[in-house]
Structure 1
Amino acid sequence: MEHHGRHALVTGGGTGIGLAIATALADAGAEVTITGRDAERLEKIAADHPRLHPLAMDVTDAEGVRDGITRAAAARGPVAICVANAGIAEPLSFRKQTPEHWRRTMATNLDGVFLTFQAAMETVGREDWGRMIAISSIAGLRGLKGAIAYTASKHGVIGMIRGLSEEYMGGALTFNAICPGYVDTPIVDRNAAMIAEHQGVSEEEARGYLARANRHKRMLEPDEISATALWLCSDAARSVNGQAIQIAGGHVT
């Protein structure tokens, strides 16, 4: 119960990596606000765990993010742990890239992290203990073919983490990014379905293609990411700051 009495907030906490992290933090004693756009889903998940608390919130809505996090902090205290996980992955070749697709990706994957962190950090003092974690991607460290907007957004997230770690250096507030490869989540399921449709292969074959993109040639599991997040929130990681931690089955950069 290392985090008993602490308030954590996880965006995109109703599915995949976000849900795994939220559950791990709740099991460690934190009161965890889980956010997402599907209020019904969040409520069903929270009903099964007394330390999970639903908050319908769209990370692209600046006013909604600020209002939602303010209300969550009023109910459960300062956001000592903030995991900016909400994101979208919609592959599209550069030639087919549209300004609308580009802006939608940036609004969710990059602006969403900025808005979430800024609102969460307004609830804590500059010298207070805190852990700010962004879920980036291996695509934030290298190029990803056919996903220029996604790649750029995830590179931006890492830049934000590095800048914030410098701005708050020396205090008890740390900033880190987790950079997974392909994880067995609904996002990968959707991407596999798209690949299968476009290339005329089965979804199982498409999933195999994605799994082989990880260096150890298998799909990652959400608990591998949640375990890393839990470690970053521990006292053992108090000197880990400004890092982009790769989880992709082998050396990438």
Structure 2
Amino acid sequence: MARRVLVTGGGSGIGRAVARDFAATGDAVTICGRNAEALAETDGGRGMTCRVADISDEAQVGALFDRPYDVVVANAGAGNAAKLADTTLEDWNRTLAVTLTGVFLTFRAALPLMGPGGRLIAIGSTASLQGGSNIAAYAAAKHGVLGLVRSVAKEVAKKGITCNAVCPGFVDTPMAARAAEGLMSRLGVAREEAVAMLCSNNPVNRLITPEEVASSVLYLASPGAAMVNGHALTVSGGEL
């Protein structure tokens, strides 16, 4: 029987790879995001349901759950590189609203309709487990995501539901491209050097592919991961 899967931030990057992998297994996939054209591109005729929604908006998130889901992947997130002294309150609030509050709203709305065997999966980051220069707001939000995951895992365990996080390093996504462009602008380096700097903490010395992250998500959603709960699964080539 096909599972019902919701992937937030499904218009590009990790969310796109996750949604396509679930669809390839025959699951009934719903994707949401703020850009209808990007969602349609992710679908590409795969039969997904596309819903336009801002996951930092409580009412819009609530409207997504007009049906139950067996697997909910809270992937949507945002963040820009900036020194703490240059981070405005608006930047801080926007980063937390999408990256942390969005996961809270998504999981909170999912749980009343989710039965035994359900899977809640958040896309964290290596920044969920360590700090970094010029990413104070993003790291704070991603640390919060992991704290949320570990707490929810304790609450739902006896219901037969699991809650976990996948924590990748730099992934070859539009967010990484923007980070590289920021380095190019600030330091006056070529794109190849900027990408190498992003990968410098990864012993494999390359960007992670979205598909590699998606494989970890599908594992956590599988029956074989029923006893994996409250876990931060790092996909970072040995960075952590």
Q: Normalized against structure 2, the TM-score is what?
A: 0.96
Partner of 2:106: 116
CA distance in 2, matches of 1:131, 1:215: 31
Q: 1:62-90 CA deviation, whole Å, 9 max, x = no partner? A: 111101232xx2xxxx2110000000121
Equivalent position to 2:31, from 24, 34, 38: 34
- 1:91 aligned counterpart, secondary structure: coil
CA distance in 2, matches of 1:68, 1:144: 34
Structure 2 spans left out of the alignment, 5+ residues: none
Partner of 2:56: 60
Query: In structure 1, what residue type is equivalent to 2:69?
Result: V
CA distance in 1, matches of 2:215, 2:8: 17
Query: In structure 1, what residue type is equivalent to 2:39?
Result: L
In the TM superposition, residue 9 of structure 1 has moved relative to its aligned partner by: 0.3
Query: In structure 2, what residue type is equivalent to 1:137?
Result: S
Taking only aligned residues, the RMSD between alpha carbons, in angstroms, comes to: 1.2
Partner of 2:40: 43
CA distance in 1, matches of 2:224, 2:81: 37
Partner of 1:197: 185
Query: In structure 1, what residue type is equivalent to 2:140?
Result: A
Q: Do the aligned partners of 2:10 and 2:42 also contact (CA within 8 Å) in 1?
A: no
Aligned length: 240
Query: In structure 1, what residue type is equivalent to 2:210?
Result: P
CA distance in 1, matches of 2:77, 2:172: 15
In the TM superposition, residue 213 of structure 1 has moved relative to its aligned partner by: 2.5
* Structure-to-structure mapping, 1:140-159, within 5 angstroms: 140-159=128-147
Query: In structure 2, what residue type is equivalent to 1:85?
Result: N
Partner of 1:87: 77
* Structure-to-structure mapping, 1:74-223, within 5 angstroms: 78-125=68-115, 128-223=116-211
Structure 1 spans left out of the alignment, 5+ residues: none
Percent of matched pairs sharing the same residue = 41
Q: Normalized against structure 1, the TM-score is what?
A: 0.92
| Residues 1:18 and 2:15 aligned together | yes
CA distance in 2, matches of 1:111, 1:214: 29
Query: In structure 2, what residue type is equivalent to 1:46?
Result: D
Query: Residues 21 and 96 (structure 1 numbering): CA distance in 2 closer, same or farther, change over 3 Å?
Result: same
Q: 1:92-120 CA deviation, whole Å, 9 max, x = no partner? A: 10111111111000000000000111112
In the TM superposition, residue 28 of structure 1 has moved relative to its aligned partner by: 1.1
In the TM superposition, residue 251 of structure 1 has moved relative to its aligned partner by: 5.0
In the TM superposition, residue 207 of structure 1 has moved relative to its aligned partner by: 1.0
Q: Do the aligned partners of 1:182 and 1:213 also contact (CA within 8 Å) in 2?
A: no
